[in-house]
């Protein structure tokens, strides 16, 4: 006979959890305030009063909001020696002085409370999106935790033990976090965008207005945006590879890999993927913005008015083929296309479903070798853009360097550092360090090792 599990509460979560448990081969009994009118439940589940349901099972899921926990105190005698799983979440951090699970344990001291599953959603349970999902558990009774962990494994979940019930607070705060690993990359991207936008606004629009009394503020919409996006994209892509390079230099400097990186570097390393994806998004915007250039009114007007001018004045300027310009623009576009293609490739392999099919060697080849190649190609794309501009006109003053000049500094630095790391002698040392070699090498004569590999 399959094991019988009990669920208190017939709400959204209770129903979805019951359905999933039934599909995993358990029997389910619901405890409800109104067992005869609680609406449709998953097929095969029984429903009774709380007390009767608790009697028949040893493991009880509390799928009730914390605000209604008080009824559990009145039936504490029925819950003696039961395992109570607390799945509750709060709407905000710190509304209650103690964690929900600690509160539950206080109401029912005779039971073993386990906190967990609160990061799952009714929706994911209902749609069977559980495979490989990680759940955290904590509780004071090891046996109770063990029982819950076994059940979770049967549901296809991966269990992570977070220790005693005092960790419940942390677990309850988890679902309240909104994309924690995206916060830093998005802040950096917004900061950089704001900086370059205002810089270009002053330099291109306001400067032209003051100096030449020309109102070209319409350029904010497309031209300015189409400079800000590629600039920030390139800087973000560099920032995605910079921490790896810094870490390598730090290892070289320390001569060992067995010491922790500073916190800021750790945090930076952990959001590289998100940095790269933000960069990819901006590169995509840049590509789309570039496509609409020929159909813009301002561009068409400029071309047509030049022809009309010449017809009116009845003279034609010599129209010859500039070989340098042809090479310059073509290589600019080709590098842009190749760079964007590699960008997309990097983005695709960062998806778990694609990255999971790659071996570690393949993954690191794509993310590191191909990643730096992407950075190189995109930086070259930027340099050629600057070069073409320089060929066509150079009315720019030295004190107003174009935006792309500023942004090219960052990727150039990263690339130079990467080239240094690729020098055979540096590369050899780094490989040895990463294989566990330390500067205080074992003393070969006596055969004793001073280095500890910990
Ligand atoms: N929905 C979700 O995706 C998730 C929910 N959770 C947590 O699970 C818990 C339940 O959430 P959810 O199912 O969405 O909520 P619902 O409001 O859908 O359901 C709550 C259930 O609790 C019971 N209940 C309500 N009032 C009382 C009361 N005064 N005394 C006793 N029982 C009562 C009712 O069942 P009955 O009428 O049968 O007694 C009701 O169906 C919450 O703590 C929530 O934070 C956690 C993770 C995800
Ligand atoms: Cu470009």
pLDDT tens figures, 104-159? 999 999 999 999 999 888 888 888 777 778 899 999 999 999 999 999 999 888 89
Least confident of 91-95, 209-213, 441-445: 441-445
**pLDDT at residue 338 tops 90:** yes
| pLDDT of res. 400 | 59
Report if pTM > 0.80. Answer: no
User: Cα of 331 to ligand 2 centre, how many Å?
Assistant: 11
Least confident of 252-261, 292-301, 390-399: 390-399
**Selection from 112, 131, 128 nearest residue 62 by Cα:** 112
Out of 10, 12, 18, mutate this one to test ligand 1's pocket (max ligand atoms within 8 Å of CB): namely 12
Ligand 1 atom closest to Cα of residue 90:
45
Q: Which of 130-134, 171-175, 303-307, 379-383 has the highest mean pLDDT?
A: 379-383
User: Cα of 130 to ligand 1 centre, how many Å?
Assistant: 21
Q: Which long-range contacts (CB under 8 A, 24 or more apart) does 64-69 make?
A: 64/8, 64/9, 64/11, 64/88, 66/90, 66/96, 66/100, 66/103, 69/100, 69/103, 69/104, 69/107
Averaged pLDDT of the chain: 87
| pLDDT of res. 446 | 41
Across 268-275, average pLDDT: 90
Q: What is the pLDDT of residues 292-310, one digit of tens each?
A: 988 888 888 888 888 888 8
Burial of 372 (0-12, 13-18, 19+ CB in 10 A): buried
pLDDT band for 322, please (50, 70, 90 cuts). Answer: confident
Residue spans of the domains in the chain: they are 4-176, 180-434
| pLDDT of res. 218 | 87
Considering just the CA atoms, what is the radius of gyration of the chain in Å?
31
Does the ipTM surpass 0.90? yes
| pLDDT of res. 448 | 41
List, chain by chain if needed, residues with CB within 6 Å of any ligand 1 atom.
9-14, 32-34, 38, 63-66, 68, 71, 87-89, 118, 120-122
User: Cα of 346 to ligand 1 centre, how many Å?
Assistant: 43
Structural contact between residues 198 and 217, judged by C-beta atoms closer than 8 angstroms:
no
Characterize the bridge pairing of strands 112-116 and 83-86.
parallel
Higher pLDDT, residue 175 or 345: 345
Q: What is the pLDDT of residues 80-101, one digit of tens each?
A: 999 999 999 988 888 899 999 9
4-176: CATH topology is: Rossmann fold (3.40.50)
pLDDT band for 444, please (50, 70, 90 cuts). Answer: very low
The single residue listed with the structure tokens 């205002």 is 198
The ligand with the least distance to the CA atom of 380 is 2
| pLDDT of res. 452 | 37
Q: What share of the chain is helix, strand, coil (3-state, %, to 5)?
A: 60, 10, 30
Bridge-partner residues for 60, per DSSP? 6, 84
Least confident of 193-197, 299-303, 332-336, 350-354: 350-354
Q: Report the 10 Å Cβ neighbour count for 338.
A: 16
Describe the strand order of the beta sheet including 134-139 as a list of residue ranges. 46-48, 27-31, 4-8, 59-62, 83-86, 112-116, 134-139, 158-161
User: Cα of 413 to ligand 1 centre, how many Å?
Assistant: 55
**pLDDT at residue 443 tops 60:** no
| 333 backbone φψ class: left, alpha, beta (φ>0; ψ -120 to 50) | alpha
What SS3 string covers 117-175? CCCCCHHHHHCCCCCCCEEEEEECCHHHHHHHHHHHHHCCCEEEECCCHHHHHHHHHHH
Q: What is the pLDDT of residues 14-47, one digit of tens each?
A: 999 999 999 999 999 999 999 998 888 999 999 9
Q: Which long-range contacts (CB under 8 A, 24 or more apart) does 369-372 make?
A: 370/342, 370/345, 370/346, 371/240, 371/241, 371/276, 371/346, 372/241, 372/415, 372/418
């Amino acid at each position: 006979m399959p094991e019988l599990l009990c669920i208190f509460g017939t709400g959204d979560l209770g129903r979805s959890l019951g359905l999933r448990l039934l599909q995993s081969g358990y029997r389910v009994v619901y405890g409800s305030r109104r067992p005869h009118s609680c609406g449709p439940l998953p097929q095969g589940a029984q429903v009774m009063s709380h007390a009767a349901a608790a009697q028949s099972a040893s493991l009880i899921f509390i799928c009730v909001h914390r605000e209604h926990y008080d009824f559990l105190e009145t039936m504490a005698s029925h819950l003696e020696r039961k395992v109570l799983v607390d799945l509750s979440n709060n709407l905000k951090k710190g509304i209650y002085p103690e964690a929900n699970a600690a509160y539950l344990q206080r109401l029912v001291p005779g039971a073993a409370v386990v906190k967990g599953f609160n990061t799952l959603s009714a929706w994911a349970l209902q749609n069977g999106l559980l495979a490989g999902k990680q759940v955290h558990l904590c509780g004071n009774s090891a046996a109770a935790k063990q029982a819950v962990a076994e059940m979770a494994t049967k549901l296809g979940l991966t269990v992570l033990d977070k220790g005693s019930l005092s960790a419940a607070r942390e677990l309850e705060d988890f679902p309240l976090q909104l994309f924690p690993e995206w916060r830093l990359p998005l802040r950096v991207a917004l900061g950089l965008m704001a900086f370059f936008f205002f810089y270009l606004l002053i330099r291109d629009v306001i400067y032209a207005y003051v100096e030449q009394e020309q109102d070209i503020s319409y350029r904010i919409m497309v031209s300015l945006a189409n400079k800000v996006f590629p600039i920030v994209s390139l800087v973000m892509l560099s920032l995605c590879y910079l921490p790896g390079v810094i870490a390598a230099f730090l290892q070289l400097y320390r001569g060992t890999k067995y010491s922790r990186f500073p916190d800021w570097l750790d945090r930076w390393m952990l959001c590289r993927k998100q940095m790269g994806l933000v960069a990819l998004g901006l590169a995509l915007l840049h590509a789309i913005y570039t496509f609409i250039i020929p159909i813009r009114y301002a561009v068409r007007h400029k071309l047509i008015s030049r022809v009309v001018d010449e017809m009116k004045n009845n003279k034609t300027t010599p129209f010859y083929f500039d070989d340098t310009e042809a090479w310059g623009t073509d290589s600019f576009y080709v590098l842009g296309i190749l760079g964007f293609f590699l960008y997309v490739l990097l983005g695709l392999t960062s998806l778990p479903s694609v990255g999971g099919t790659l071996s570690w060697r393949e993954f690191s080849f794509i993310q590191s070798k191909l990643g730096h190649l992407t950075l190189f190609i995109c930086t070259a794309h930027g340099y050629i853009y600057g070069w073409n501009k320089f060929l066509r006109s150079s009315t720019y003053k030295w004190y107003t360097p174009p935006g792309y000049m500023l942004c090219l500094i960052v990727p150039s630095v990263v690339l130079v550092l990467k080239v240094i790391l690729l020098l055979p002698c540096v590369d050899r040392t780094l490989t040895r360090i990463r294989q566990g070699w330390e500067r205080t090498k074992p003393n070969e004569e006596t055969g004793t090792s001073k280095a500890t590999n910990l």
